[in-house]
């Protein structure tokens, strides 16, 4: 069985501390506990205080649309609205203080990546 893991990032190496502000997703395809592919995808983003909803769509919804084919979202911090949009879209969301994308993906594959729900903040 294959799965896809999405991680918000600005540089492809580091997990963004703020989901909403990250410019990209690094998406990994995992098959039989091995990474078989990875790609960088552009990600809709917003800055603090930006409450515009282009096309009437909440920014959190725009952000998860580009990873609708993924199963898991690993993030370093996000607001409650984005968290709710991600979980409503069927993503398993794991919040981690880990900064290295490579370390987080390997920890997830081995079942060692713990969820830290305190990294979801209210808006």
Q: Please state the domain extents for the chain.
A: 2-121
Fold of 2-121: Nucleotidyltransferase; domain 5 (3.30.420)
Q: What is the average pLDDT value for the chain, to the nearest integer?
A: 89
DSSP line for 27-69: EEEEETTEEEEEEEEE-----TT----GGG--HHHHHHHTTTT
The string of pLDDT tens digits covering residues 59-113 is 555 778 899 999 999 999 999 988 999 999 999 999 999 999 999 999 999 999 9
pTM of the model: 0.88
């Amino acid at each position: 069985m294959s799965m896809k893991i999405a991680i918000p990032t600005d540089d492809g190496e580091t997990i963004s501390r703020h989901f909403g502000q990250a410019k990209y997703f690094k998406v990994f395809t995992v098959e039989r506990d091995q990474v078989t592919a990875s790609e960088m995808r552009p990600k809709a983003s917003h800055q603090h205080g930006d409450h515009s909803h282009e096309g009437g769509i909440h920014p959190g919804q725009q952000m998860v649309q580009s990873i609708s084919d993924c199963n898991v979202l690993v993030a370093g911090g996000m607001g409650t609205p984005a968290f709710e949009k991600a979980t409503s879209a069927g993503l398993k969301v794991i919040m981690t203080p880990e900064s290295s994308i490579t370390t987080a993906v390997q920890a997830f594959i081995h079942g060692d990546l713990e969820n830290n729900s305190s990294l979801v903040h209210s808006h």
